[in-house]
A and B are shown apart, each in its own frame.
Chain A
Amino acid sequence: MSEQYDVLVCGAGPAGLAATRAAASQGARVGLIDAQPRPGGQVWRHDLRFGTPRSARRAVAAALRGADWLGGASVVAAERGELLLERADGAARVRYARLVLATGARELSLPFPGWTLPGVTGAGGLQALVKQGWPIAGRRVVVAGSGPLLLAVAAGLRRHGARILAIVEQAPAARVRAFAWGLVAAPTAAAQALRLRLALAGVPYRCGEFVQAAHGDGRLQAVTIRTARGRVQRVECEQLAVGFGLVPNVELAQLLGCRLDRSGRHASVATDAGLQTSVPEIYAAGEVRGIGGAAAARLEGRIAGLAACGADAAAGRSARAQRRARRFAARVGRCFSLDARLYTLAEPETIVCRCEDVPFAALAGFGDARAAKLATRCGMGACQGRICGDALAALGRYAQPNAAAPLFPVRLSTLTDIWSESQPVTST
């Protein structure tokens, strides 16, 4: 037997929490699923030393008051109207009348020499690790990549006692300056930027520069930075936190047959203005529709949660603010668009598929991800091509691979559960 919900929400970040609260406010029976054991998603991930911001605590409390919390549950397969979950204590099925996909985004990593060394992490990745106790006090850290996230990460790590040697932003200084001036029209973002700037007093913010290699024997010991003047500078450090933006988690949407927008290098879920996907009972909100930031995610969660309950008029009242938040995100995206040189850092022997240790040179001559996978095992490992697939799509090599069930590696007992039911599990 499986639980039946009027509205099931996948993802407990800002979008999913807002959707849960909105749907529950309409009297719906709501379930909220997340792979993490605690709600909050990435941006509101609980910090075991500093807790979570008040806005996050409120959003979590408001959502959990009116819904069943299904934490620590990965969605591994889907049929129409039903999801199969894997939890630490076994597999479970949940049924839904309406589904809200708020599956968020993951970080984009690009391959460069040395990026597989322990000590090299994502930027948001290191932030997530540190919030859950990763030892960082006194460690020398270079924060690199692109986007406003780097500032938030650097400030967070410094608060935990890290020595931030530099923030290395690939966008040119003139573009970043123009963007900063533009914040005058966005007071909330401007106030946040000012707070971060103060928290990072004394930390060099180096624009138009990038880390081109990481060095070390068994662990990170130094990075080399390509400076704005074209020089190469070596910096000794224990951690490199490097992120090049975010990639929507579209795999579940794809498995459910929702139409994807593939106009960019990374796919996002296509919806109408009411956030309904091409599958009528499924809605999408937040980063999974394309990277829009937490403010847009909260608004879209609210819209999707209400729309899923048929409260279209109430949903419409958030539409203007949502469009404004999306316009701001588009400006961020333009400012921090990536320098083409970042796509050429991998050398022939640089490992691209980290699960199967496939070097960049092995991928020469294959027309698509599937051909490369069959011949080299690229994308065939435990992450199922999420890391290398995103990277190779960014490099313009192959489109992202298609998702298939199970969406994550599962226990054999879960596979038994998938196949023990009479109906087959859908897969694309």
Chain B
Amino acid sequence: MNAKTAIAGGAVVVVAVVLLIVLSSGGSDSRSKTDAGKVPTIVVDKQGQPVGGIADLNYHKGDQIHFKVEVPFAEEVHLHGYDVMKDVPAGGGTVTYDLPAEIEGVFEAELEGRKEQIIQLTVEP
């Protein structure tokens, strides 16, 4: 290995180390966990759209997934991945999800009949 290669190699290693330090220094998790104690409620409007857009719900594995969905018409709410379906009766109503966060990943809850996503649920390790 000649001097130029050694210098170039040294520079590469320095860049790598700096990159490592900079990117690793942000802490272990910046996600805002779903507020403890408050049960988030996702309200669906008459057009079948979630009010305020698709709701982001974030949990860690081992947490309790707990949320409600309020729908003004008969529908089936489906939490994919966990594969939990709940029926909203004719005339509308509220369904409640309360289950342990056992599977890691990103999941959708949607209005099954309309194929409309209303929630993006994230479970981190």
Task: Answer yes or no: are A and B bound together in one complex.
Answer: no
- Give residues in B with beta carbon < 8 Å to A: none
